[in-house]
Amino acid sequence: MRKINNFYANNFDLARLVAAFLVLFTHGFELVADLKDEPLYALTNGKLRCSTIGLYIFFFTSGYLVTKSFIKTPRVGEFIWKRFLRIFPALIVIVFVTVFLIGPIFTKLPIAAYFTNSDTYRYLFTSTGIYIRHILPGVFEGSQHYDHGVNGSLWSISLELKLYFLLVCLGILFKKGIKNIFTYLALISFVLNIFVMLNLFNLQYYFTPLHFSLFVLFWIGSVCCIYYDRIILNSRILFFLVIPWIFCLYFFEPMRMIFELFFFSYLTLYCCYTRKTISLKIDLSYGTYIYAFLTTQIYVELLGKTDPLKIIFLVTWSVIMLSLASWLLIEKNSLAFKKYYDRIFISSFTRRKLNHGDT
């Protein structure tokens, strides 16, 4: 039994990297062979897959760490600046490379037809992170492709940004009682998620059950961040969460999600706050996540339907190289601009006020 004494001594960087590779692993089977061949999918009769666990880890971790960043950052603008620098530079680069390099190489259309098709340029809106497009004209079209999507993993960025926006709005409106508001929101969203899982009402026009579960996990992570110093990490608690979850997974589906969300949230915390922490000098998780699906589609186009494990192996090493380049050339350099927030957004405004005689 132990408590979290040091918030920053953790393995969240490693957890996010593992989560990214779990998503990569599932997409390897989904795009190359048959999702039914994915080991966890087969083991759970289609109720769970490795990519789902990866998304669980991502969104719980995001809620946990982003909430801490928001609470510690004195100005909302500075918080937004930090989020922008973490997400958008690499996203913008991959979108433009996809449209102007990958697209022309792999499209089945004549090059002139590709570049005169309005859908080609609509894909550029994916760089906003909100208006996600999945299709480029003629790209990855063929019987060997299970999903003609160019980069299907990017959809979750849109949900993530909406959660950031909601967090900021709540933070502004309820600044003094922000901890209670996040707690109430987590509780309300969890109850609503139960209703969705029990099919008591249908929200699928706006959210799929998975979307709603990720929404809940983000706020569970937020609450865990707020009360991190009160959380007890104990292997017995983990055991008493996993047993009812496994039982519901196979024998009582309506109640599965209740235990599933709590189990994976607690498991993530338990693993991230072990007595030995592994500090990663480079963060390959985001790059792995945004490059893996596209890289898998490229290998399927080049090699056709083949052994999914072979494709996964090739994609893994390719994505490691791409993610390393992305971190060193784009992400790390972008994050260095965090410290220039005052110089970019504050200093010029202050000078204008001084020039007008304001004090």
Q: What percent of the chain has pLDDT over 70?
A: 86
Mean pLDDT of 199-207: 52
Query: Tens digit of pLDDT for each residue in 221-258?
Result: 988 988 888 889 988 999 999 999 999 888 888 788 88
Mean pLDDT of 86-95: 96
**Structural domain spans, the chain:** 2-351
Query: Tens digit of pLDDT for each residue in 149-170?
Result: 899 899 999 999 988 988 888 8
Q: Which of residues 128 and 276 earns the better pLDDT score? A: 128
| pLDDT bracket for residue 287 (50, 70, 90) | very high
Mean pLDDT of 131-149: 82
Q: Is the pTM of this model over 0.75?
A: yes
Contact 140, 106 (CB under 8 A): yes
Region label for 44, one of left (φ > 0), alpha (ψ between -120 and 50) or beta (otherwise): alpha
Q: Which of 18-27, 47-56, 90-99, 275-284 has the lowest mean pLDDT?
A: 275-284
Q: At what angle do helices 12-32 and 50-72 cross, to 10 degrees?
A: 150
Query: Tens digit of pLDDT for each residue in 310-326?
Result: 999 999 999 999 999 99
Distance between CA 19 and CA 53 in Å, rounded? 7
**Close Cβ partners of 36 (under 8 Å, ≥ 6 residues apart):** 42, 46
Distance between CA 143 and CA 335 in Å, rounded? 41
Mean pLDDT of 32-56: 91
Q: Note the pLDDT of residue 245.
A: 92
Q: Which of 52-56, 69-73, 208-212, 237-241 has the lowest mean pLDDT?
A: 208-212
Q: Note the pLDDT of residue 114.
A: 95
Sequence-ordered strand ranges (E) for 148-201: none
